[in-house]
């Protein structure tokens, strides 16, 4: 009896699934949009950092370009007495005395030398501004008047008091210092307001800290 060979079983192949055309189109579109978004985002970030750096430069330049800054105008008024007498070997000669009482008044301009102001970055969009010593920048409309004058019987022996020279002695370093110290609270407020207004006009969100020279 002859054995009959069994033919191998044939399995039908499954048809390969094809990606629909619309799905390919959406995939390509998604990739293009992702690339475009990344490019736009990078450009926006770059511009944002560039704008921030530009504002920082403008803030610093706005402070450094200032020269003399008048912060307060204030009047000084007082009396200046002056007396003199003739003497011989240190012994006063009676009735040779001369005396005047000078009344003076003038307007002062007190502020700072802007070139001495320094600014330093202390953090993100934050700066410290160091204000130098306040100084007398100038005077305006000086007014002098002799309110009293007395001369002894023999005063002709004593040289007349030079009222012009006396007016020059009025504004001593001590008078200047006392005047400026009396204005210090107002000067500090004015300095803060002055630089804050300049800088916030460039960047309203900036944070400022002020220090003052003693």
Identify whether 43 is part of a domain.
Answer: yes
Identify whether 2 is part of a domain.
Answer: no
Identify whether 174 is part of a domain.
Answer: yes
**Average pLDDT score, the chain:** 82
Confidence of residue 200 (pLDDT cuts 50, 70, 90): very high
Determine the structural domain holding residue 194 and report its residue range: 22-212
CA-to-CA dists, residue 32 to 23, 29, 37, 163, angstroms: 14, 5, 9, 90
Identify whether 7 is part of a domain.
Answer: no
Q: Which of 140, 134, 130, 129 is nearest to 113 (CA)?
A: 134
Identify whether 91 is part of a domain.
Answer: yes
Identify whether 170 is part of a domain.
Answer: yes
Q: CB neighbours of 69 closer than 8 A, spacing ≥ 6? A: 111, 112, 113, 114, 191, 194
Identify whether 1 is part of a domain.
Answer: no
pLDDT of residue 46: 45
Identify whether 68 is part of a domain.
Answer: yes
Q: Which of 63, 67, 71 is nearest to 198 (CA)?
A: 63
pLDDT of residue 23: 59
Tens-digit pLDDT profile for residues 60-112: 787 776 688 999 999 999 999 999 998 888 899 899 999 999 999 989 999 99
Dist CA 98 CA 157 (whole Å): 10
Tens-digit pLDDT profile for residues 115-133: 999 999 999 889 999 999 9
What predicted TM-score, i.e. pTM, was given to this entire model?
A: 0.67
Dist CA 161 CA 211 (whole Å): 46
Number of domains observed in the structure of the chain: 1
pLDDT of residue 191: 96
């Amino acid at each position: 009896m002859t054995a009959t060979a069994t033919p191998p079983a044939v399995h039908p192949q499954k048809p390969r699934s094809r990606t629909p055309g619309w799905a390919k189109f959406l995939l390509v579109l998604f990739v293009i949009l992702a690339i475009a978004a990344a490019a736009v985002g990078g450009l926006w970030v770059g511009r944002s950092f560039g704008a921030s750096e530009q504002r920082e430069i403008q803030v610093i330049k706005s402070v450094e370009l200032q020269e003399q800054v008048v912060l307060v105008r204030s009047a000084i008024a007082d009396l200046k007495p002056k007396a003199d007498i003739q003497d011989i070997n240190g012994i006063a000669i009676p009735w040779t005395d001369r005396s005047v009482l000078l009344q003076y008044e003038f307007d002062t301009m007190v502020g700072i030398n802007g070139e001495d102001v320094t600014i330093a970055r202390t953090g993100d969009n934050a700066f410290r501004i160091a204000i130098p010593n306040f100084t007398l920048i100038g005077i305006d409309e000086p007014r002098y008047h002799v309110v009293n004058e007395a001369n002894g019987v023999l005063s002709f022996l004593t040289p007349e008091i030079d009222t012009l020279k006396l007016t020059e002695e009025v504004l001593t370093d001590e008078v200047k210092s006392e005047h400026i110290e009396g204005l210090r609270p107002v000067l500090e407020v004015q300095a803060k307001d002055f630089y804050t207004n300049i800088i916030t006009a460039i960047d309203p969100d900036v944070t400022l800290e002020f220090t003052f020279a003693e």
